A and B are shown apart, each in its own frame.
Chain A
């Protein structure tokens, strides 16, 4: 347990109706007694555990700050496993700020970012993956990312990692028994068995690692760049996606001279959309910078939406853009299908096949764009229900280490190494996986040897 008591405004700063000030640590209850007066403006003798009490918070000069509800939660059955006091006060910045100041005055210090969760972890209430999930929930920008983190918090990632560790540990314990008690007639683990397990687990790890890309996208959004010649309808498309007129839309080519970035959540699919200046040969200096910026943005983009104008013929600029984005994930859109079609894509058979025909003006065919994004990024369906998705870089790196170690095992098998060598990398695999969830394996292994094998004099 920690010596000091920490406090912070636990609710999001803003114009909410209620704010909560949370205090955690040994002094929490003492502080509650200092700052709280009941409805008769008297100090309270006892706070019943897990009850809401109505009353007032007073500052150090006994002046009432706000009318509040206060609750006391006794250790260890609290979020931090320490004594916790929560004060529900009125919204706005002033009240919560004054209450926090008063609380700090009575013997605690401001909590650092994520410190309540850090304590929950260090005091053993949640494991590492769960603690990280809380931080990710706080930081997540999309509903899905939030959901993934929630699902980690429930321990689903931990559960899957644990099950992989357990499978390797079963094998390891048996190998160790063969090594440490060679004269006993326990089953010898064969190289084939090790190989079999590696071949079974590798795809599982690979699958998890792959979800990391999805996880990152869900956490940060799909970086989407809309490209096209001037006045093909890029900003209109963006506005459609944003559902409001944020970018300027005019009939004059070159209106969007800088890039505009917006974050939008379309049916749960998070897009970070960057509208760009239309690309054309230009002498206008300002516009030129815009075009360069647009091309630069393409480099970092996860997705490019290339817009063609149905009413115009294919031009040099279109071809230049197509050449520039040939290695990217692209959705091709033929806009203005309400006008006469002059666009001939027959020299680009592939594009002709997949181009989506829309009329942004008449709101036609736009659904297909969203479907296409799902196809490209989430294999046609976005389901974060049961399968864990990796949305944390540390987890991803450890998973890659674990995978590499498993591949080393297979390499050693190819090199005719004996079983005790395979075991080195098998142990490393579980060490790496153990780091994800903060599980140490060395003592586990000894216990397993004795629990599962009948050996000894």
Chain B
């Protein structure tokens, strides 16, 4: 029998963070950097900023998130810049709004570098201990207990527990209690959260197998190289020079699909053992084969887990089939004939909260100074987690200083879209950021994240003087160049028209300036140098930015007009003390939804499921007549 562990007060701090993943690290760095005494608890110091699934940072929309985190003074962009082994700008053939950076990370290096940063952060203490209970004291502060018997007093608690809460791994008939990637689960904290009145639910996700690189036949696969010139994630870096490692593309075969069909009854998702909902953008191969039965092959990507490991991550091949079937299944794929599985694929089920219980500051509506960030909120992905961690950290600081919460809206950042979606609409599956979720993506570009956010980060105090100066310098370089182009007048001289003719552009009839001339589809910044004798030497980044602003000015302005409309409703604030039961003629469904979500603006209210345009009108009238 186990004796009861003696409890003792270890330390009292401003902020206690439970979990040291991507959300926890950003939250802890933010509060510590803002001068708050912070403790970060983790189940294992070896799992700080761990990447238990895919070995990438960024990708469509996620790359935008990383840039926004960086622009606000977060760490993720700097850390991936230090540890990437391949990098690509995705969607280059499409417009500037959807260009997205994606890097292959060296997982071990990523963890080690982030660990170094948090270890060296002033005001931040790291402790390897499992949090078991959060207790709310009468004075509004918290006591957080650990398995070791130690407890901590904190004014603010930020819960960033990822997929560890009551984690359970599934592989065919086998299932057992576990955190991700073989790490220990956290089985006690869930109950404590429920005791605090927080609603929990189960989500599911999966991870594919890792295969020994030497057992794969890359000659049968298509090789994928990184970009020749790497564009860094962080606005603090100008260039990255590394030797890049390739990835590979290959396919499943009919045999693969046969094996899956024959063994479907052994997949816990199909046999009904796992009842929770998995993400639709990350279907298991079973899902793909059943749902898209007419596809005769599925694409998969072979990606290195690091520079110094033979483990290869097989993106597109997550499964919950038994290990025995997995071996056959993987070996049936092209180039995988002799594949050696090093870590089998698995599905994992875990507890998370319904994020509609949160405010847009990520503070719980019902308990002041208790914040949640990351996968516990029903999101998925390292970048989504980090973004929430940063915002939770900032708002923990603002809350302790009795300042208004820092909320980014949907027209200001992908981070704003992410959090607004989570807390306003909620989610039925692990939520992944996508560009299609953003209404104003022409404004929310990855190349202007600093312009959108660095000033705000500076006001908060997270952006260093060095970063702020860099930003100001970049901005003035851009503004100067735009002004200069507007002042270069181009007259319809024969010489000019000859140059235009050579570029396949119609001759000028009236004088214009180079800025307007550049709007012609066939002209660009580079090919007009002959019309611009005194052109200064500029960095590629600046030239690209200037060109984007000029070429797409009409579209960008149109979007700004839409944003104006959007802001009108966002700026109609709803007082936090409003009693919806007093608002006559609201429908019951709308009343319940409003009482639950507690939106802080009419704009947010209008995005709640169950609140109709008529209810919004009722609300507007109520607010107008009750203004005091």
Interface set of A (CB-CB < 8 Å, partner B) = 1-4, 122-123, 176, 178-185, 415-421, 424, 442-443, 445-446, 449-450, 454-457
Contact = CB atoms under 8 A, between A and B. Distances in A.
B95 interface: yes
A107 to B, nearest CB: 16
Q: Identify the interface centre among A176, A182, A415, A442: most chain B CB within 10 Å of its CB.
A: A182
A35 B27 CA distance: 66
28 contacts: A1-B587, A1-B588, A1-B589, A3-B585, A122-B587, A122-B612, A179-B60, A179-B91, A179-B94, A179-B436, A182-B60, A182-B94, A416-B521, A416-B522, A419-B94, A420-B441, A421-B442, A421-B555, A442-B439, A445-B436, A446-B437, A454-B295, A455-B281, A456-B279, A456-B280, A457-B53, A457-B54, A457-B318
A438 B211 CA distance: 51
B94 A420 contact: yes
B8 to A, nearest CB: 44
A434 to B, nearest CB: 12
A420 B283 contact: no
Given A182-B90, A418-B95, A419-B94, A3 B584 contact: yes
B194 interface: no
Contacts of B436: 176, 179-180, 445-446, 449
B124 to A, nearest CB: 33
Contacts of A180: 60-61, 434-436
Given A180-B436, A457-B282, A2 B587 contact: yes
Given A455-B281, A456-B282, A457-B54, A417 B95 contact: yes
Closest 3 CB pairs of A and B: A450-B280, A416-B521, A456-B281
A421 B552 contact: yes
Contacts of B249: 183
Nearest to B90: A182
B614 interface: yes
Contacts of B389: none
A424 B555 contact: yes
A178 to B, nearest CB: 8
Contacts of A449: 434, 436
Contacts of A2: 585, 587
B607 to A, nearest CB: 9
A312 B159 CA distance: 99
Given A2-B585, A421-B95, A454 B291 contact: yes
Nearest to B205: A457
B315 interface: yes
A457 B208 contact: yes
Contact of B283 (A123, A424, A456): A456
A424 B98 CA distance: 12
B253 to A, nearest CB: 15
A137 B208 CA distance: 60
Given A185-B299, A419-B95, 15 more contacts: A123-B587, A176-B434, A178-B94, A179-B94, A179-B435, A184-B299, A420-B94, A421-B95, A421-B552, A421-B555, A424-B558, A454-B288, A454-B291, A454-B298, A457-B281
Contact of B95 (A420, A450, A455, A456): A420
Contacts of B156: none
Contacts of A183: 90, 249, 301
A174 to B, nearest CB: 11
Contacts of B439: 442
B299 A420 contact: no
Given A415-B521, A424-B559, A446-B434, A182 B91 contact: yes
B622 interface: no
B27 to A, nearest CB: 26
B98 A454 contact: no
A415 B95 CA distance: 13
Contact of A420 (B54, B98, B208, B559): B98
B92 to A, nearest CB: 9
Nearest to B289: A454
Contacts of A443: 425
Nearest to A414: B521
Nearest to B298: A454
A419 B97 CA distance: 11
B292 interface: yes
Nearest to B562: A428
Interface string B479-522: 00000000000000000000000000000000000000000011
Nearest to A181: B60
B91 A4 contact: no
Nearest to A175: B436
Contact of B614 (A122, A420, A456): A122
Contacts of B54: 457
A391 B588 CA distance: 34
A184 B288 CA distance: 14
Nearest to A445: B436
Contacts of A123: 587
B316 interface: yes
A424 B442 CA distance: 9
B247 to A, nearest CB: 9
A184 B60 CA distance: 12
